[in-house]
Amino acid sequence: MDTIPASILVVDDEIGMREGCRRALVPQGFQVSTAEHGAEGLRQVRQQHFDLILVDAMMPGMSGLELLEHIRAHDPEIICIVITGYATVDLAARATKLGAYDFLPKPFTSDELLAVVQQGLDERRRRLEAREQQERAEEALHLERARQEMAKLDAIESRFMLVIVHELRNPAGVIKNYLQMMRGGYVDADEWDEYLEQLDLRAGQLLDMLDDLLELANLKAMRSDSKLAPVAAANVLEAVIRTMRSAAEAKGLTLEVQIRSKPTMLAQRGHLQSLWTHLIDNAIRYTPSGGVNVLLDEQDGQIVSEVVDTGIGIANDELSRIFQEFYRAEAAKEEVSLGTGLGLPIVDQIVKIYGGRIDVDSTPGQGSTFRIILPARPPSAEA
Kindly state the DSSP code that residue 51 receives in the 8-state scheme. Answer: S
- Does 268 engage in binding with ligand ADP (CB under 6 A)? no
SS3 314: coil
Q: Shortest approach of ligand ADP to residue 209 CB, angstroms?
A: 9
Of 29-37, 109-117, 126-134, 281-289, the segment contacting ligand ADP by CB under 6 A is 281-289
Q: Which is nearer to ligand ADP, 18 or 278 (CB)?
A: 278
Q: Between helices 192-220 and 110-183, what is the axis angle to 10°?
A: 170
Contact letters (x/-) for ligand ADP, 152-181, by CB under 6 A?
------------------------------
How is 325-376 classified by DSSP, letter by letter?
Answer: TT---HHHHHHSS---S-HHHHHHHHHHHTT-EEEEEEETTTEEEEEEEEES
SS3 of 267, please?
Answer: strand
Per the DSSP assignment, residues forming a β-bridge with 372 are 305, 358
For residues 42 and 275, which CB has a smaller minimum distance to ligand ADP in the complex?
275
In the stretch 312-351, what mask flags binding to ligand ADP with x, by CB under 6 A? Answer: xxx-------x----xxx--x------xxxxxxx------
Residues 205-264 close enough to bind ligand ADP by CB under 6 A: none
Beta carbon of residue 292, minimum distance to ligand ADP (angstroms, whole number):
8
Residue number, 30 or 286, with CB nearest to ligand ADP: 286
Judged on CB neighbours under 10 Å (0-12, 13-18, 19+), 7 is middle
Count residues binding ligand ADP (CB under 6 A): 22
* Site membership for ligand ADP, residue 309 (CB under 6 A): yes
Q: Is 306 a binder of ligand ADP (CB under 6 A)?
A: no
Q: How far is the CB of 282 from ligand ADP (least distance, A)?
A: 4
Determine, following the binding rule CB under 6 A, whether residue 305 of this chain makes contact with ligand ADP.
no
Rounded CA separation 371/307 (Å): 7
283 binds ligand ADP (CB under 6 A): yes
Rule CB under 6 A: choose which of 41, 64, 311, 375 binds ligand ADP: 311
Among 368, 375, 376, 381, which residue interacts with ligand ADP (rule: CB under 6 A)?
Answer: 368
Q: Are 345 and 321 contacting, i.e. CB atoms less than 8 angstroms apart?
A: no
- Which C-beta is closer to ligand ADP: that of 195 or that of 327? 327
Strand spans (E) along the chain: 7-11, 31-35, 52-56, 79-84, 102-105, 229-232, 254-259, 264-267, 291-299, 302-309, 357-363, 367-375
12 within 8 A of 1, measured Cβ to Cβ: no
Mark 82-101 as b/e (b = at least 16 C-beta within 10 Å): bbbeeeeeebeebbeebebb
Q: Identify which of residues 98 and 283 has a Cβ nearer to ligand ADP in the complex.
A: 283
Rg (CA), the chain: 38
* Residues of the shown chain interacting with ligand ADP in the complex, contacts defined by CB under 6 A: 278, 282-283, 286, 309, 311-314, 322, 327-329, 332, 339-345, 368
